[in-house]
Structure 1
Amino acid sequence: MIDVTIFTDSNKQYVGFKIIGHAGYADSGSDIVCAAVSTLSVNTVNSIEKFTDDTIEASTDDSVGSLEMKFTSNVSKESKLLIDSMLLGINDIMNSFSKTYIKISYKEV
């Protein structure tokens, strides 16, 4: 299962996210659920870096299939929109392929 954790502050504003795990929809290399979530999450990080002035820290661990991103500056409305868009895509994948493969949770930090 892919675990998506959205980190928020006490005002429910985004401060980062972590995505970890493998969907298990198909064999490694053929898992379109994993590929779709990976594409959305990596594109979100790349878009925040390229299209906003926000600063972030991002790290990956291929051995467990994880991507973690945290803002190191205030979060712009553009970054909020990009994360909202990522979540829209992930929710669409969940609705298309069953909630068995992906879980989204929110954590105040």
Structure 2
Amino acid sequence: MITITVFKHQDQYRGFRSSGHAGYAEEGSDIICAAVSALTVNAINSIDELTDDAADVRQDEGYLELRLEGTCSKESSLLLDSLVLGLESIQESYGKKYIKIATKEV
């Protein structure tokens, strides 16, 4: 199962952590892992390229984390809102057996 923890401060997302593997299909053929990877990596790359916001990014096998540092621009906020919308759509389509999304106040 992929576990997504979305970090939130008041009403604004401040980052996320993704860990684990969906187990939907064999490695290399798992469309849920591929979709989550595409969304999370794109969010990080978009924040890096399209905003001036500073972020701490950590990555390892089956693990990816982004935490915004300082204030969060409207652009980063929108990109994180979009990420969560996409992740929730995957969860709705494939179920909580493969992806779990939680929110953590920071």
* TM class by smaller structure: over 0.9
Post-superposition, which runs of at least 4 consecutive aligned residues in structure 1 deviate over 6 A?
Answer: none
Secondary structure of 2:75 counterpart: helix
Q: TM-score, normalised by structure 1?
A: 0.92
Is the Cα contact below 8 Å between 2:13 and 2:81 reproduced in 1? no
In structure 2, what is the equivalent of residue 25 of structure 1?
24
In 2, the alpha carbon distance for the partners of 1:54 and 1:48 equals: 7
- In the alignment, does 2:83 pair up with 1:89? no
In 2, the alpha carbon distance for the partners of 1:95 and 1:108 equals: 23
In 2, the alpha carbon distance for the partners of 1:15 and 1:85 equals: 13
Q: Is there any run of 5+ residues in structure 1 with no aligned partner, and where?
A: none
Q: Is there any run of 5+ residues in structure 2 with no aligned partner, and where?
A: none
How far is the alpha carbon of 1:87 from its aligned partner? 1.1
In structure 1, what is the equivalent of residue 13 of structure 2?
14
In 1, the alpha carbon distance for the partners of 2:72 and 2:54 equals: 9
C-alpha root-mean-square deviation of aligned residues, in Å? 1.0
Q: TM-score, normalised by structure 2?
A: 0.94
The structure that is strand-richer by fraction is 2
